[in-house]
Structure 1
Amino acid sequence: MLWDWEFAWSVFPKIVLDGLRITLIATVAGSVLAYLLGLALALLRRSGNPVIRSVTWGFIEFIRSTPLLVQIFFFFFVLPDVGIKFDPLTTGIIALGLHYSTYTAEVYRAGIEAVPAGQWEAAVALSLPPRRTWLAVILPQAIPRVLPALGNYSISMLKETPLLLMIGVLDIVGAADQAGSRAFRYVEPITIAGVLFLLLSYSASLLVRWLERRVAYSN
């Protein structure tokens, strides 16, 4: 029999309770880290210091040009040799957040550049300090414009979390693989994992579309 409902129901709770929890933690925490680091990188790209701009650009290009899996391995296997060590889940979150921050940085940069020049000129005319110009004028207009794009990167990050299995983090796929290896039966657990990812990705895409409509409406 290709599909065994009894076995499927027996492994379903573990995949959902354990694997789904880890997947959501990695995705949410990684997204928050990517958003914050990405904003910092975008601001550094606009620094008046050419050295800072060049170093930031080089860092972004280096991270974007190397595979995420290599970066995960670097954080997990190489950094402990110099005394920097984290547990597998924390390592995965840092790797995901850092990798995707280089993409969100470009999204923020595009949003900032889309703010009309008149807004900058008005801030200068009012003699607003740079900090207040950014926090009260520029970022409140730039960030809503880029929310849908940031959401799309979070969806991409969600689908990258199975890579963390390589360092022992049991996300949905890891929990499914473990359940299948114990019974030497993989059809049910892997199918359940695929369906869960489909539901998560589709739900997240609906949220992103809703954000796109809200942003378009507000503009």
Structure 2
Amino acid sequence: MTWDNHFAVMVFPYLLKGLQVTIIATLCSFALAVCLGLAIAVLEKITRGPIFFLISSVTHFIRGTPLLVQLFFLYYLLPYANITLPAFGCGILGFGVHYATYLSNVYKSGIEAIPVLQWEVSKACNFSPFQTWRYVILPQAIRPVLPVLGNYFIALIKETPLLSSISVMEMMGEASLFGDMHYRYLEPITMVGVLFLALGMVARGCVGSMTRILGVLREKDDHSASSLKGPYENSKMDPSENLIS
């Protein structure tokens, strides 16, 4: 089978339509995963006993089962419980919940990196638990893990072809349908691969830019912190020497 430029031109508009679905599904799923993952991480930190065990068990179960099985469960089995969601909604929910369980671990690593002194100072300042999380813990915990979240975003993009298994016509679904109609798959599948490569490169570039910006901000924060040090913190002189007359 040889490459047919005319056929490639024919299939390209269909792939662009699928590309729009892929991008929207990726953004919506990742937004859900980011918010839900943060909620899971905080709940696992503040809960104890049966509630902690329940949350931990559910997240381990979701991480331990294939995403495709979870999509099939939402799309084919929920109607038996009189819960019917559109295919696109099932895809967003499935991807969002699945990736939220992974992002929760990322958030937890950032939270656990916060020194215990930060919690103690917040308590000494009479901050409420909400104020402690909102103004002290989360701003420090989230910034360092943003590049890792970006890597999961790229991974999510590459898994969106699974949506075609539940009738969501993203790029792979459009390519398969067009190939079935014309009994020709070389051009559609190859072009899908190229488009996914381009999409991944754009996402990787955005993640890289974000990482560099965070590095610059961290350097500025370190510089500001060092400029606020006392005169004796930047020198090896013993402050007690000044007390000797």
Give me the TM-score of the superposition, normalised by structure 2.
0.86
Give the 5 Å matches for 1:41-52.
41-52=40-51
* C-alpha displacement of 1:203: 1.2
2:25: which partner in 1? Answer: 26
Residue type of the partner of 1:212?
Answer: T
Residue type of the partner of 2:211?
Answer: E
Cα distance per residue 1:124-171 (max 9 Å; x no partner):
110000001111111111111111111111111111111111111111
| Percent of matched pairs sharing the same residue | 45
- Asked if 1:73 is matched to 2:72, the reply is yes
SS in 2 for 1:46: helix
Residue type of the partner of 2:60?
Answer: E
The structure that has the greater radius of gyration is 2
Distance 1:126 1:156 in 2: 41
1:15: which partner in 2? Answer: 15
Give the 5 Å matches for 1:92-107.
92-107=91-106
Residue type of the partner of 1:3?
Answer: W
Residue type of the partner of 1:4?
Answer: D
Distance 1:86 1:25 in 2: 17
Distance 1:208 1:139 in 2: 20
Aligned-residue RMSD, C-alpha: 1.1
Residue type of the partner of 1:70?
Answer: V
Q: Structure 1 residues 127, 166: CA separation in 2 closer, same or farther (over 3 Å shift)?
A: same
Give the 5 Å matches for 1:146-161.
146-161=145-160
* C-alpha displacement of 1:177: 1.1
- Asked if 1:2 is matched to 2:18, the reply is no
* Length, aligned pairs only: 218
2:62: which partner in 1? Answer: 63
Give me the TM-score of the superposition, normalised by structure 1.
0.96
Distance 1:148 1:191 in 2: 30
The runs of 4+ residues in structure 1 deviating greater than 3 Å are none
* C-alpha displacement of 1:217: 2.9
5+ residue gaps, structure 2 = 219-245
Cα distance per residue 1:59-97 (max 9 Å; x no partner):
111000000000000001111100111000110010000
SS in 1 for 2:90: helix
* C-alpha displacement of 1:218: 2.4
Greater RCO (CA < 8 Å, at least 6 residues apart) = 1
SS in 1 for 2:85: coil
* C-alpha displacement of 1:50: 1.8
Distance 2:203 2:119 in 1: 34
Distance 1:88 1:62 in 2: 23
Distance 1:190 1:109 in 2: 39
5+ residue gaps, structure 1 = none
* C-alpha displacement of 1:214: 2.2
